[in-house]
Amino acid sequence: MNRIINNPDLVVEDAVRGYLKAHKDLVAPTDNPRVIRHHLAPQKGKVGVVTGGGSGHEPAFLGYVGDGMIDAVAIGEIFSSPSAKAFHDAFVAADGGRGVACLYGNYAGDNMNVKLAVKQAAAHGLTIKTVVANDDVPSAPKSEPQKRRGVAGEILMWKVGGARAAEGAELDEVIASAQKAIDSTRSIGVGLSACTIPAYGKPNFSIEDGMMEVGIGHHGEPGVKVMETRPAREMADLMLDHVLPDLPFESGDDLAVLVSGLGATPVMELYILYDRLSEVFAERGMKVRHPFIGNYFTSLEMMGVTLTIMRLDSELDRLVGAPARSVGLTKVAL
Amino acid sequence: MSGVRIETAGGLVKELVEAINANRTWLSEIDGAIGDGDHGINMSKGFTSAGAKLGDTPPPLPEALNVLSSTLMEDMGGSMGPLYGYLFSRMADALEGKSKLEADDFGAMLRGALEGVQEIGSASVGDKTLLDALAPASEAFDAALAAGKPFPQALDEMAVAAERGRDSTRDMVAKVGRSARLGERSRGVMDAGASSCCLILQTLANGIKTRLSE
């Protein structure tokens, strides 16, 4: 392990401190060191939008706190759910009196901690509703959507929910739009190398040099197939073969497409992949309305890439296209 | 009647903190095989923080268990925060109104722990989780008492059952949590949660036995 850290047990604490110092125009600390809020939150009269998750995925999750996005975020240990207390305190930080939408990913720990936090918040009068992202196609069969994990599709869910809340919508409307967003979104990851949690000091899984794992999870969960690394064009085709039939995406669809590096991937290579993706979309009569290419949702220093596709209706198109400003994602109104 | 004075038994929780810290690396190694490799690290962080709150003269056992529970639930996060949080809070509940911890009370603590874990988690026995150490341990303890065995011997049988339960996870396929993604590949390795649970139960058994003989 060769990393830019101090104490490996305190990487989250150290990083959050730096983040707060760097982005004072967007975020502010709260009494809970594991909760960061929008610098204006809570905004009276606006539905609060909260997310949370393990660290090591930066800019997710804290990087999506911003204008037209997330109001408060709960921060966990590396690859580990935030505590119920952190989720609860994030709800409080985001609540402007019209309820809070908690938009998070489908993992056992997050489910338990959110459930506890919602219960605690309800006990003192807060209204919290949730949407659970489950966009990762290879994580479970289509027949078991409740077992599918949330991956980079969460970002588009936050974008949609955040934009809807910024429009002044009611809690139920924010929830309905965020649910529609994730229901219209599918993802897949390909891993080319493993990653190391600093406190553990060595990778907890391995991918041989020259091999790639198709369908890998955001924490190195095994995928559906390990094979020799193929040229980017073939990698793109392979990813599309898994994702497109699942929704299914069809000719005539308008799309938002998010290609994210997993931490160690040169950004240049994301564009090499996107060149082919874009070609296939055109061939199939699909139109990419909103492309997002970059490091949006990483897994420490994993080499690899995730592809996320959302089918847009006019509402989702409007909400994905709405202005937003955050460290992870900024959208300028056209 | 032989029992442990609850008033002065808060030290049992300090012993749990020491046991988890002493096994930090071992627990992470076990977790590393099919998980993140952070089980020992996160458990140690949570238990150490509870230990600091308890100080050098810990409060009576139920209070000490509740300090541990709330620290894990509030600070630790992950899956283990809520699961162990519920486990220890239900153990504390079973001691309400008691001044001595006797055999029946420990049986009630184990059953309470089991119910708590099942209430917050979604796993069943056989899913390769901490339940696979806890459930047989609780059953073995109750069975030993039903057979008329004395408290210390029932504790021994409970500890053996916990260990057997832990080892049985080696042949199981994970059904819940992150390792469930591994399917068949999760077979052949012990579950980290069952391992820490077994360690906790054995530490409690030893601590109680020591106090019973004092």
Would the CB atoms of A107 and B178 count as touching at under 8 Å?
yes
Would the CB atoms of A81 and B36 count as touching at under 8 Å?
no
Weakest-pLDDT range from A30-34, A50-54, A159-163, A198-202: A198-202
Domains of chain A, start order: 8-183 (3.40.50.10440), 186-331 (3.30.1180.20)
Residue-wise pLDDT tens digits, A166-193: 999 999 999 999 999 999 999 999 999 9
Q: Which pLDDT belongs to residue A270? A: 98
Q: What is the CATH number of the domain that holds B130?
A: 1.25.40.340
Q: Which of B206, B1, B210, B213 is nearest to B103 (CA)?
A: B1
Closest CA of chain A from B200, distance in Å: 21
Q: Which pLDDT belongs to residue A165? A: 98
Which is higher by pLDDT, A94 or B184? A94
Q: Which pLDDT belongs to residue B1? A: 52
Mean pLDDT of A19-41: 98
Residue-wise pLDDT tens digits, A194-216: 999 998 888 878 899 999 999 99
Residue-wise pLDDT tens digits, A256-304: 999 999 999 999 999 999 999 999 999 999 999 999 999 999 999 999 9
- Is the pLDDT at B178 greater than 60? The verdict is yes
Q: Is the dihedral of CA A289, A293, A295, A298 positive or negative?
A: positive
Would the CB atoms of A200 and B82 count as touching at under 8 Å?
no
Interface probe, candidates B24, B26, B41, chain A, greatest A C-beta count within 10 A: B41
Cα–Cα distances (Å) from A9 to A6, B41, B80, B99, B202, in that order, read 9, 8, 18, 40, 27
Question: For residues A206, A211, A216 and A222, what is the CA-based torsion angle, rounded to 10 degrees?
Answer: -50
- Is the pLDDT at A253 greater than 80? The verdict is yes
Q: Does B83 touch chain A (CB under 8 A)?
A: yes
Closest CA in chain B for residue A115: B120
Collapsing DSSP to helix, strand or coil, A262 comes out as coil
Mean pLDDT of A87-116: 97
Interface probe, candidates A12, A80, A148, chain B, greatest B C-beta count within 10 A: A80
* CB neighbour list of residue B12: distance below 8 Å, 6 or more residues apart: B61, B64, B204, B207, B208, B211
Q: Which pLDDT belongs to residue B35? A: 76
Q: Which residues of A touch B186 (CB under 8 A)?
A: none
Average pLDDT of chain B is 94
Residue-wise pLDDT tens digits, B114-131: 999 999 998 999 999 999
Interface confidence: ipTM more than 0.85:
yes
Cα–Cα distances (Å) from A72 to A67, A189, A196, A255, in that order, read 11, 27, 28, 28
Are the C-beta atoms of A240 and A276 separated by less than 8 Å? no
- What is the helix (H) or strand (E) element at residue A55, kind and residue range? strand A48-55
Average pLDDT of chain A is 96
Residue-wise pLDDT tens digits, A318-329: 999 999 999 999
Q: Which pLDDT belongs to residue B75? A: 86
Burial A231-264 (b: 16+ CB within 10 A, else e): ebeebbebbbebbbebbebeeebbbbbbbbbbbb
Mean pLDDT of B28-56: 90
| Residues of A noted as catalytic | 57, 219
Q: Which pLDDT belongs to residue B2? A: 75
Residue whose token pair is 């541990």 = B68
> Domain of B174?
4-212
Number of domains in chain B: 1
Would the CB atoms of B73 and A116 count as touching at under 8 Å?
yes
